[in-house]
Amino acid sequence: MLLSDGAIMSDARVVAEAKSLIKNGYNVTVIAWDRKGNLKKKEEYEEIKIERIHLKIIFPNYACIYSSNLVLHLILFNINLFFTLLSKNFDIIHCHDFDTLIAGFFVGKLKGKKVVYDSHEIYGLMIKPHMPKIVGEIVSIVDFFLIKKVDAFITVSEILADYFKERVGGKVNISVIMNCKDPDDFKIPKKEVAELKVRLGIENRFIMLYDGWLIPDNGLEELFSAIQKLNGQIGDMMAVICGDGYAEEEFKKIVKEKNIENYVKFVGKIQSRDIPLFVSACDIMYVIRKPTVKYNFFSTPNRLFEAMIAGKPVIASNFGNVKRIVEKGGFGLLVNLGDITELCSALLTLRYDNKINERLSEKAKFMSRTYNWPFMEKRLLSLYESLTLQT
């Protein structure tokens, strides 16, 4: 498996796929890009062998994330990855996202091996707001061309599968393997949950959990404004913010300036193995994306699937794929993020209306009967079995 982020411990999808394959007799190695240059070159994580390519890149601010600086380093990473892969023995090469596809595709074809492309997002749309238009268009052209040439194509939702089908035609067989969660992983002892709350100093609080990138467009500024506007009406509610990102320090500054530090706690980035513990410790989850870019209409945050498995109500975006899933399952309150009053109302409802809370919780659990990792694991294994029969 190839990944452009060295910290695979925080990538729940890659970890889930790798563990499922290992459990069923496959020998899995993840080759990843260590962008900070501070991780071990080789190690194991939950029986997953990890090898890293150290290529340090410094992002002084977000404007530089999608810039010529990254493009240059991405090219260098793929060159390094290409020659690293030439020396490896493998039967299947599994490329996670466009970042790793070019090197993985050409080495796979040179060696006569099967190439799997696992597209987590629409890469061209994702970079479009931050790069010259021509760059996004070139990436999309190359992306759609290679999709037609790989041996297997995976994406994370039906809405993304429909998007790719429209652009590459009916010749490509698309497997939809969602970022669903394993119910067994979320069977957390009450003692561990209590210990976490004590450790974080959030015992006896009503917990709203956010887990994701600390960047604009994920609704955190609006959340902080809503908490300030309510001015203590939410009582003992605490917003626990997990994750990291370029805007982390700016968000902490905003919280301090709004004098809402008693209602917001930043805990940093957590490993995928710890996500079930944090989700079990919360009462509701915050799953918001802003409709500022087209990419967000296709987004399906992992937090939706975590909420389903754990039976947690959500406050969610009233648009795109998030709206479609929450409306289908009826396990959350949808808000238009431009209306802070609406967000305030949702916070108060979920904090104080126990009947609504219980009803949404039961609906989340019902959704998890279909949206769960064992079901998705069968799709992954079926795909791999078909590829190994062809080798």
Q: Round to whole Å and give the CA distance between 224 and 295.
A: 24
∠ CA 238-218-297 to the nearest 5 degrees?
135
Assign a CATH topology to domain 183-367. Answer: Rossmann fold (3.40.50)
Predicted structure pTM score: 0.87
Q: Which of 12-16, 63-67, 248-252, 319-323 has the lowest mean pLDDT?
A: 63-67
The percentage of the chain sitting over the pLDDT mark of 90, rounded to a whole number, equals 71
| Better-scored residue on pLDDT, 173 or 317 | 317
Summarize pLDDT for 191-205 with one digit per residue, the tens: 999 999 999 999 999
Higher pLDDT, 272 or 342: 342
Q: Where are the domains of the chain?
A: 2-178+372-390, 183-367
Contacts of 75 (CB under 8 A, 6+ apart): none
Query: What span, in angstroms and rounded, lies between the C-alpha atoms of 35 and 269?
Result: 16
Q: Can you state the angle between helices 98-111 and 68-86, rounded to 10 degrees?
A: 30
- 159 conformational bin, left if phi > 0, alpha if psi -120 to 50, beta if neither: alpha
111: Cα within 13 Å, side-chain hemisphere: 21
Question: Which structure tokens are listed for 132?
Answer: 């010259």
Tokens matching residue 77: 């990473």
Predicted local confidence at residue 64, as pLDDT: 44
Instruction: Answer with the residue of higher pLDDT: 123 or 20.
Output: 20
Render pLDDT for 103-135 as a digit per residue (tens, 0 to 9).
999 999 999 999 999 999 887 777 776 677 787
Query: Is the confidence at residue 65, as pLDDT, over 60?
Result: no
Q: Do residues 303 and 285 lie in contact, with contact meaning Cβ atoms separated by under 8 Å? A: yes
- Higher-pLDDT residue of 134 and 89 is 89
Q: What is the pLDDT of residues 139-165, one digit of tens each?
A: 889 999 999 999 999 999 999 999 898
Using one digit for the tens of pLDDT, what is the confidence trace for 205-244?
999 999 988 988 889 999 999 999 998 899 999 999 999 8
Among residues 265, 291, 288, the alpha carbon closest in space to that of 278 is found at 265
**133 contact partners, CB below 8 Å, separation of at least 6:** none
pLDDT confidence of 69, banded at 50, 70, 90? low
pLDDT at residue 60, as a whole number: 47
Q: In the predicted model, what is the mean pLDDT of the chain?
A: 91
What was the pLDDT predicted at 391? 63
Question: What is the SS3 assignment for the chain?
Answer: CEECCCCHHHCHHHHHHHHHHHHCCCCCEEEEEECCCCCCCEEEECCEEEEEEECCCCCCCHHHCCCHHHHHHHHHHHHHHHHHHHCCCCCEEEEECHHHHHHHHHHHHHHCCEEEEEECCCHHHHHHHHCCHHHHHHHHHHHHHHHCCCCEEEECCHHHHHHHHHHHCCCCCEEECCCCCCHHHHCCCHHHHHHHHHHHCCCCCEEEEEECCCCCCCCHHHHHHHHHHHCCCCCCEEEEEECCCCCHHHHHHHHHHCCCCCCEEEEECCCHHHHHHHHHHCCEEEECCCCCCCHHHHCCCHHHHHHHHHCCCEEEECCHHHHHHHHHHCCEEEECCCCHHHHHHHHHHHHHCHHHHHHHHHHHHHHCCCCCHHHHHHHHHHHHHHHHHHC
Residue 291 has pLDDT above 90, yes or no: no
Specify the pLDDT at position 63: 42
pLDDT at 181 over 90: yes
Classified by CATH at the fold level, domain 2-178+372-390 comes out as Rossmann fold (3.40.50)
Whether 2-178+372-390 shares its CATH topology with 183-367 is answered yes
CB 343 within 8 A of CB 337: yes
**Mean pLDDT along residues 352-371:** 96
Q: Report the pLDDT value the prediction gives residue 62, as an integer from 0 to 100.
A: 42
* pLDDT greater than 70 at residue 303: yes
Mean pLDDT in residue range 312-318: 96
Q: What is the mean pLDDT of residues 22-42?
A: 92
Taking 70 as the threshold, does the pLDDT of residue 58 lie above it? no
Better-predicted residue by pLDDT, 249 or 62: 249
Rounded distance between C-alpha atoms, residue 44 and residue 13, angstroms? 17
